[in-house]
Every structure is written in structure tokens, then in C-alpha cells.
Structure 1
Amino acid sequence: MIKLIQNTELYTPKYLGKKDILIAGNKIVAIADNLDVYKNEAEVFNAEGKIVTPGLIDQHIHITGAGGKDGFSSMTPEINLSELIACGTTTVVGLLGTDGTIRNIKVLYAKAKSLESDGISAYMFCGYYGLDSVTITDSIQSDMIFIDNILGCKIAISDIRSSYPTALELVRKLRDVRVGGFIGNKKGILHVHLGNLDTKMDVLFELVNEYKFPIEHISPTHVGRTKELFDQAMEFAKLGGIIDITTGASKYTDPYKSVLYALENGVSIDNMTFSTDGNAGLTKFDDTGNAIGVRKAPIHKNLEEVVLLIKDGGVSISEAFKLITTNPARNLGLKHKGKIEVGYDADLCCFTENLKLTDVFAKGQQMMHNGTIIVKGNFE
């Protein structure tokens, strides 16, 4: 199937102006000022007046659900395809949380494959909060080598629910991730959940400064949980690391304001990403602060915070969209994602000039048309 998307106001996310895009199968095969020569043999989509960006990447989302801290009934459900399409997310990285028992790693893999069958791109991390990393094969390294969907391993630090890993224990996991990545032709990252203990990111600086481990393989998330943690995270970013700001939970201020604060303090926007922590279990409080139940962390906040960064923060569309396109793709080592370029996957989002999402394409297939989701999961 050949598709021709005409008259786009194209952000790759770099602004290119008025362009046509030609898609063959699931890949972008041409970008030019005018591709009318293909009109008679292609399915034509007129994007006149629409801003077109890469499809959005959520690199930390609980696709099989999470929660459970208040018993079995507090576990959140699996994510549906339409929930992701509704907010322009065409690539996800699923992961486990505190629970590595009920939330089974093989079920996580099955859900990722299910979302792929539905039409989007889905990856995952092995591991969970604990030091005893849960894997599909017999090791992190084997998972990295033999399972295409697995991009790295997750672990938690500075959290009372973590295993309080030492730098030596972490560097051994980093070794498995990195060597597995070499052989499996992946970048390989250790995705590090940060809690709110006073130790913050201290052990990560030890990995970089004392063990001299390459910083690009260390991926700290929830860095905006507290102001003190974010101040330390900015120093990590200035060393060349990529820091992940959670938009759906775990934040001391609005995530877009954290980005503005970091920019003011000399951090490059190329060293920051957004992810939602979507579908995590959050405590629900009444007006007096009493816990009254649980709720799901929202999955649409990445796009919402980017729009706020543009409209309220004055950051350009080209720069702001890096947080949910090129930057997470580079952090994850996804060479065919995050940009609109020839040879890349045909993941696209179309917006009005007021940045309202209207159309979504995932791997060349149109999933949303004029604000209506036209492709849903099997059981929706």
C-alpha cells in the first residue's frame, strides 16, 4: 500500500515547511515539496493546514497495569490500543513496577506483542524494582540478545520498595545490559526508578565518576519527583546523561516548568525526555487529604505538557517535540523512530495550528481520522 500525505506543515521535528510525504508499507520513502507524480497510484491524504510531527514515544508506561499496594482490587487494568492512539502515542516501552510476581514478565511480553499486532510499536524492559531481576530467559544478557522487544532492564533505587542496590551490584547489571546490547545490536540501557529517599541519585554518580561506566547506558526516571532530586538530575544531564521527567505522576511541579527551569540553568533540551508512568496505581485523596482509594496514572500527559511548554513556556514546536520523539528514540537506541525521515517508520501525528490532535498514523496505517479513532484493539 502506498500513501501520499500532501501539503503538510512538516516538523521532523526540525521545521521543514510545506512538504509532501510518501509512504510505502510501513516506511517513509520520500519527502519533497511536491510528490504529485504519485497521486494516481497512492491513497492520498490531504493535510492542508495541519502541522505534522513524528508519532509520539512513551518510554515508561505500564501496559499490563500496575498498582496493588492496597490489595488485589487496587491493581490497574491493561491499556487498550485506543487510549494510546487518542494521545498520539505510536511507540511504547512497557515495564513492571514494584510487583514482579503478579505482574508476570511473560505477560508483559505478550501484551507488547499484542499491541504490535494491533498496529503500533511496543518494546519492554525486563526487571522490576528488585535486585533479583525477573527475565524471560535465564539472564538479562540473554534477554537482550534473544528477545527483540527487550531494550534493557529496570531497577529501583532510593525507594523504600527497592532492594537498596550498591554501585557494584548496579555496574554488574549494566555490564549485562551493555554486552547483551552489543551482541543483540541494541544500545542497552539500565532504566532506573528513583524514589524520594535522601540518597537521590548518589549511586548513579558513583557509577559514572568512580566506575567510569558510560553515562549513556544509565537512564534515570521520575527525576522531577522532588525539587532536590531534580537539581541533582540537572547535574547528571550536564555530564551527558538523559534524564526522564514523569508527566503522569511523581512530580513536585508541572513537568513543563521543570523543563523551563532546567533550560534556564544550562541543561540542553536534548538531554531531557518526558514519559507518563501511565497506568500506574496512584492513591486517590479527598479534599482533606485522606486516602479514599486508587486511580490510574493518566497516559495523555506527555502531549499535554509539550503543548504547555510551547504555549505557556515559549519553546518552539521543533524543540518541545524532541522530548517525546527524537530524545526518547536516542535514549532507547531506536534508530528508525523519533523522526520523519526517509527510511524511518511511518509514525505520524497531525495537528491543527492550535495543536489539537486530529490524525494519527502508526507504521503507515491511519489509526485516527479527523479526531475519531478508526482502529481499535480486538476487545474494545
Structure 2
Amino acid sequence: MLKLIKNTELYAPEHLGKKDVLIANNKIIAIADNLDSLKNDAEVWDAQGKIMTPGLIDQHIHVIGAGGKDGFASMTPEVNLSELIACGTTTVSSLLGTDGTARNIRTLYSKVKTLDQEGISAYMLCGYYGIDTVTITESIQGDMIFIDKVIGCKIAISDIRSSYPTAQELVRKLRDVMVGGMIGHKKGILHVHLGNLETKMDVLFELVNEYKFPIKHISPTHVGRTKALFDQAIAFAKLGGIIDITTGASQYTPPHKSVLYALEEGVNMDNMTFSSDGHAGLTKFDENKNPIGVRKAPIDKNLEEVVLLIKEGGVSISEALKLVTTNPARNLGLNHKGKIEVGYDADLCCFNENLELTDVFAKGQQMMADKKIIVKGTFES
């Protein structure tokens, strides 16, 4: 089945100008100035000059919910498909949080497969905060090899809820991720939650400098939690690492301002990503900063921060988009995602001149049209 998208202002994410895009099932098969010769053989959709970009990738989101720090009632709910479509997210990588007991790794796998069946692309990490990695098979390496959706492992450091892992313990997990990835034909990352303890990223530098472990397999997140932590993250990025800035919570300054500061300090945009931490459990405060309950982390801040980076930060559309397209795709090893290019998945977002999201395609299927979600999850009304 062919679909011809006409008259786009194409950002792939590099700016390619006025283009037509041809889709066959879920793949992009042609991009050209004019593909009118195929109009009679395809379903035609006129983009009417809208800006078209790759679909957005959220590499750290809790699709089965998280939270629980104030008891069972503080555990956050699952993410619905329409929530993701509403903010242009067409690919997710999900994970467990603090809790690897009440939240089950097999439940996470089931939700990831559900989202896949409902129309977007979904992946997952094994593990959680603790050193006692929760897996579907008998090991991290087994999950990397035999479980299609597992593309890495999560662990926490520098957090009072972590297991305070040593460099030697981490390097053994990195070995399992890397070797399992080799056999399973995946890149493999150890995705590292960072808390606000004074140890910051010290053990990660030990892995790189003392153990000489390839930095591309080490993926630190929540790097903007404090100024001191972010300064250390900048040094990590200058070594070639990719640092992940959370948009939904735990930032000392707005995420787009963190990016601008990093750029001023000499970090390449290719070494940074945004992720939402969506549906993490957060404390709710009143106007006097007193805790009054809990709330779920929003999932729409990736797009919001990209737009702020463009409109207020003066960063080009092409460069700002890297944070949620090519960079997370490269970090996760998703070689068919993050670009509008022949052979890539047909994940696309369209925006008007004010950078308002108007249309979304996931794997070739239109999910949003003229700001209205037209495909919802199985049990959404």
C-alpha cells in the first residue's frame, strides 16, 4: 500500500526544503522534489507546506507507571497511546523505576508489545534502581539476546534508593549488555539513573578512565538535576558520551537552558538528548513549597522544550530536533529511527508555522489529523 505525502517543508532533521515523501506500508521508499508521477498509484495526502519532521523518540518513560514512595495509592497509572500521539512521540523506550517488586518486568514487556500493536514503536530496558537486576530470562545477557524488545539495562547510582554499586559491579553489567547486544544484534546500553548525592557521576568516569570501557554503552540520565551534576555531565559529553536531560522533572534550571549552557561550554548537540521521565511519581507542592500529595510526571515536555529552544534560544529547527530524533536513536541503537530517509520507518510529525503540532504518522499510519487524534488505544473511549 502506497501513501504519497505532498508539499512538505522537510526537516529530516536537516533542512531539505520542499519535498514529496512516498511511503510503502511502514517504510519511507522515496523522497524527491516532485513525485506526481505516482499520484494515480497511491493514497495522496497534501501537507500544504507544513513543516515535516521525524517522529519524536522518548528514551526514558514509564509506560506502566512508576512512583509508590508514599504507598500503593501513590503509584502512577499506565500511559495511554493517545497521550503519546498528542505530543508527537512515535517511539518509546520504557523502564522500571525505584520499584522492581510491585512493578513487574513481564508486565512492562506486555505493555511495550501492546503499544507496538496499537501503532507506535516501543522498546524496554531490563533492570531497575537496584543491583539485583530484574530480567525476563535468567540474565541481562539472556534478555539482550532472546527478548526482542529489550535493548539495554537500567540501574541507579548516587541516590539513597540505589544499591551504591561499585565500578566493578557496574562493569560486569556493562559486559553483559555489550556482549548480549553483540549476539542479539543490538547496540546495548547501561542506562544510569543519577540521584543528587555528592558522588554524582564519579563511578562512571572510573568506568571510562580506569576500566577503559567504551563510553557509547554508558547512558547517564537526569543529568540536569543540580548545577554541579550538570557540569560533570558536560565533561562526560566532551569525552564522547551522550547525556540525557530530563524534561518532566528534577531540573535545577529549565531543560532548554541547560542545553544552551552546554553548547556555550563546548558540548556538541550530537551528545545530548531529551527524555520525559513521563509518569514517574513526583511530589506535589503548594504555593509555600509544602508537600501536599503526589502527581505524575508529564510526558509532553520534550516537544515543549524543543520549541522553547528554537523560539527563545535561537537554535535552528534542525539542531534542536536532534535532541528527540537522531540522538536518542543513536544512543539506543535504533538504526531505522530518528530520520526521514529512504529505508527508515515512516514516523512523521507535521507542524504549522508557529511550530504547533498538527499531524502525526507512526509506521506509516496517520494517528493525528489537523490536531485531532484519530487513532486511540484499545481501551480508550
TM-score, with structure 1 as normaliser? 1.00
> For 1:125-274, what aligned pairs fall within 5 Å after superposition?
125-274=125-274
Alignment correspondent of 1:47: 47
* Secondary structure in structure 2 of the residue aligned to 1:73: helix
Alignment correspondent of 1:301: 301
Alignment correspondent of 1:123: 123
Per-residue CA distance 1:174-203 (angstroms, 9 max, x = gap): 000000000000000000000000000000
Alignment correspondent of 2:311: 311
* Secondary structure in structure 1 of the residue aligned to 2:302: helix
Residue 290 of structure 1: how far off its partner (Å): 1.4
Per-residue CA distance 1:100-156 (angstroms, 9 max, x = gap): 001100000000000000000000000000000000000000000001110100000
Residue 370 of structure 1: how far off its partner (Å): 0.3
* Count of equivalent residues: 380
Distance 2:84 2:76 in 1: 16
Distance 1:307 1:168 in 2: 41
> For 1:38-117, what aligned pairs fall within 5 Å after superposition?
38-117=38-117
* Secondary structure in structure 2 of the residue aligned to 1:123: strand
Distance 1:92 1:53 in 2: 17
* Secondary structure in structure 2 of the residue aligned to 1:169: helix
Per-residue CA distance 1:195-216 (angstroms, 9 max, x = gap): 0000000000000000000000
Tell me, yes or no, if the aligned pair for 1:8 and 1:52 is still in contact at 8 Å.
yes
Distance 2:57 2:45 in 1: 23
* Secondary structure in structure 1 of the residue aligned to 2:284: strand
Tell me, yes or no, if the aligned pair for 1:130 and 1:155 is still in contact at 8 Å.
yes
Distance 2:92 2:192 in 1: 17
Distance 1:253 1:2 in 2: 45
Give the counterpart letter for 1:6 in structure 2.
K
Tell me, yes or no, if the aligned pair for 1:49 and 1:353 is still in contact at 8 Å.
no
* Secondary structure in structure 2 of the residue aligned to 1:45: strand
Per-residue CA distance 1:286-306 (angstroms, 9 max, x = gap): 111211110010000000000
Give the gaps of 5 or more residues in structure 1: none
Determine if the alignment matches structure 1 residue 33 to structure 2 residue 33: yes
Distance 2:100 2:106 in 1: 11
Distance 2:44 2:165 in 1: 54
> For 1:11-30, what aligned pairs fall within 5 Å after superposition?
11-30=11-30
Distance 1:345 1:289 in 2: 45
Give the gaps of 5 or more residues in structure 2: none
Distance 1:310 1:341 in 2: 23
* Secondary structure in structure 2 of the residue aligned to 1:180: helix
Identity %: 81
Alignment correspondent of 1:2: 2
Distance 2:77 2:331 in 1: 28
Alignment correspondent of 2:373: 373
Give the counterpart letter for 2:340 in structure 1.
I
Residue 49 of structure 1: how far off its partner (Å): 2.1
TM-score, with structure 2 as normaliser? 0.99
Residue 19 of structure 1: how far off its partner (Å): 0.2
* Secondary structure in structure 2 of the residue aligned to 1:334: coil
Per-residue CA distance 1:58-99 (angstroms, 9 max, x = gap): 000000000000000000000000000000000000100000
Give the counterpart letter for 1:263 in structure 2.
L
Give the counterpart letter for 1:304 in structure 2.
E
Per-residue CA distance 1:285-337 (angstroms, 9 max, x = gap): 11112111100100000000000000000000000000000000000000000
Give the counterpart letter for 2:64 in structure 1.
T
Tell me, yes or no, if the aligned pair for 1:126 and 1:152 is still in contact at 8 Å.
yes
Tell me, yes or no, if the aligned pair for 1:359 and 1:367 is still in contact at 8 Å.
yes
Alignment correspondent of 1:323: 323
Distance 1:84 1:268 in 2: 28
Distance 1:269 1:52 in 2: 21
Distance 1:348 1:148 in 2: 24
Distance 1:275 1:288 in 2: 29
* Secondary structure in structure 2 of the residue aligned to 1:200: coil
Distance 1:79 1:103 in 2: 14
* Secondary structure in structure 2 of the residue aligned to 1:31: strand
Distance 1:34 1:275 in 2: 35
Determine if the alignment matches structure 1 residue 287 to structure 2 residue 278: no
Give the counterpart letter for 2:345 in structure 1.
D
Per-residue CA distance 1:224-270 (angstroms, 9 max, x = gap): 00000000000000000000000000100000000000000000000
* Secondary structure in structure 1 of the residue aligned to 2:248: coil
